[in-house]
Amino acid sequence: MESRNDGREALVVGVSMTAFARHEDRAVEELGEEAARAALADAGIDAADVEVAFCGHVFQGITAGQRALSRAGIAGAPVINVENACASGSTAFHQAVAAVRGGSAKIALALGLEKMGRGAIPADPGDVRLSARAGVPLMPGMFAEVFRAHSRRYGTTLEQIAMVSVKNRSHAVANPRAHFRAPITVEDVLRARPVADPLTVLMCCPTSSGAAAAVVVSADVARQRCKPIAVAASVLCSDRPGPGDDPLYMIVDINTRAAARAYQQAGIGPDDLDVIELHDCFAIAEVIHYENLGLCPRGEGGKFAAAGASRIGGKVAVSTSGGLLSKGHPLGATGVAQVVEVVEQLRGESGARQVANARVGLTHCQGFGGAAAVHVLTV
């Protein structure tokens, strides 16, 4: 699904997020309130002026959006709760953009939030049984097989994907809101605790808690604000049937389609991008998403990482926040947090991790089961 603008622009005028951390002493409603209040303050918009809000979350129970947003002063306006696995926050942002582009609202808010426990999170009780039989957590086990398939087909090495973990951590060092900020080396990654052979814990994203929010408005509202960032593309795709014996299909097809549609909608190509936040739930995922997004030819994602092309200062800066691997991955908050990072980069507000002269950014999030959302943001 593409969010068509019918001649109407949607612009982001306010963003904010909490730090991503364990937050064991804070309720999810408190995290959501903090992010929403700060995003509205950043936009210079009163909570009473929000016409519609969309809240992405996965495990937070009924009406989590209402519980958080009422504390932030948003009462009476429709609040729609959105669940789309790891793409829940991205889907909430997509819906906020669609509301503004479609003319049903001039001021919309997208909120993503999640309070997570420890360890791998199963999607349903059946996954617990599958994980027990396999002897490894389900998602790490799936991505271990994805790595093996990519390695067999293209020669990708563990050292190459370890370089992704190291690169993302080096970006997170300069991000005060990232879950993990201590520098690591390739040797640290390779020698870390095994999770699902051959993946180690430093090749997997942590289970974090947090919230993020973005205020999306029409062009006439944006004119009254400083530094509006335009949404040039907003695309949401779902899975389609494919070969059951190809582990790469689930991570290639849906994401390649979503990216192609986003480029077409925005009227740009991969070479136009300055900064990217993608779905690096595992280090091998980032390598394959380089290929899915057209940053390098199919099969050369490992070489792209090893060459330093995705570092700040490289060909295109990827996961400047530290990505899911180091910033953290509170499921429902992740997609909106990606928007926060790219908006701040395009505004020139990212401090020590600022990408020079950034004018075009992309966010990409995949929810397995499955959904993929891609957004292009421009100055």
Q: Catalytic positions, please?
A: 86, 329
Q: Please name which of 224, 226, 233 lies closest in space to residue 101, comparing C-alpha atoms.
A: 233
For residue 370, cis peptide bond before it (omega within 30 degrees of 0): yes
CA-wise closest residue to 361 among 12, 127, 118, 121: 12
Helices (H), 175-310: 186-191, 219-222, 249-266, 283-292, 301-306
SS3 content of the chain, % helix, strand, coil (to 5): 40, 20, 40
Report which DSSP code applies to 297. -
CA angle (303 as vertex; 254, 323 as ends), nearest 5: 55
Burial group, residue 347, by CB count within 10 angstroms (0-12, 13-18, 19+) = middle
Cα 95-99-104 angle, rounded to 5 deg: 155
135: tokens are 């002897």
How many whole angstroms separate alpha carbon 195 and alpha carbon 76? 46
What are 248's two structure tokens? Answer: 């790469």
